[in-house]
A and B are shown apart, each in its own frame.
Chain A
Amino acid sequence: GAGVSQSPSNKVTEKGKDVELRCDPISGHTALYWYRQSLGQGLEFLIYFQGNSAPDKSGLPSDRFSAERTGGSVSTLTIQRTQQEDSAVYLCASSLAEGAFFGQGTRLTVV
């Protein structure tokens, strides 16, 4: 597709379970970002990839959060042992030079 694709669109999970969120960036975009946005709040930076490496993972809230990117393309954000405070919209964006383009987000609800 032409845009950034995220899956699933919605995820409801029980507290304590692990979840995986996927991001398919725009083809050829070398930079990939993950952000988190809670209701009514701003964008919270999580991690940044350049190619397959992550020069900045300073925004990951705890060691329950991890992310990887393979083949300079698809990225997966994994949250282990989910907590209720993890509930938010998780946004992925990819970029080449002239700005970053966002996917539609994954709405995660931990019950």
Chain B
Amino acid sequence: QKEVEQNSGPLSVPEGAIASLNCTYSDRGSQSFFWYRQYSGKSPELIMFIYSNGDKEDGRFTAQLNKASQYVSLLIRDSQPSDSATYLCAGVPDYKLSFGAGTTVTVRA
């Protein structure tokens, strides 16, 4: 089992809608989680990190962490065409940054 799993396939949402991305992890000892955005042909860019149970909001982005259920999610509100990218979830099991496979989001104008 991979340490961090992103199982959802490509996501297409209309402009202005909410995009919801999910990630599960296997190591209960993991404390920190991160969301990265990667545009085609570019390097991943850190957009959110979360350590505590609950929600963390930053502009149009909200990260959610549920340690009991071992999942992390990212909500993108008022989605814009510029949000079209691949979003990568990452955790730090055993002090090593581990990435999920990523979810590609397309925002339709």
Q: Which residues of A contact B (CB under 8 A)?
A: 31, 33, 35, 42-43, 45, 48, 50, 55-56, 91, 93, 95, 97-105
Interface class of chain A by DSSP? strand
Q: Is the CB of A42 within 8 A of B43?
A: no
> B102 — nearest CB in chain A belongs to which residue?
A42
Bound CA–CA A105/B43 (angstroms): 7
Is B49 within 8 A of A99, CB to CB? yes
Judge whether B43 and A99 touch: CB under 8 Å. Answer: no
Binds A, one of B13-21, B54-62, B73-81, B92-100: B92-100
B interface residue numbers (CB < 8 A to A): 32, 34, 43-46, 49, 88, 90, 94-102
Contact B43 A102 (CB under 8 A): yes
* B contacts with A: majority SS: mixed
The 4 closest A-B pairs by CB, nearest first: A102-B43, A99-B46, A42-B101, A99-B34
B residues in contact with A101, CB < 8 Å = 46
Number of A-B pairs, beta carbon distance below 8 Å: 47
Contacts A43-B44, A43-B88: A98 and B49 contacting too (C-beta < 8 A)?
yes
Q: B44 to chain A: which residues have CB within 8 Å? A: 43, 91, 93, 102
In the bound complex, residues from chain A placing their C-beta under 8 Å from that of B90 are 99-100
Q: Which residue of A lies closest to B88 (CB)?
A: A43
- B43 and A100 contact, CB distance less than 8 A: no
User: When A42-B101, A42-B102 are in contact, do A100 and B46 touch as well, CB less than 8 Å?
Assistant: yes
Q: How far is the CA of A35 from the CA of B99 in the complex (A)?
A: 10
Is the CB–CB distance between B46 and A43 below 8 Å? no
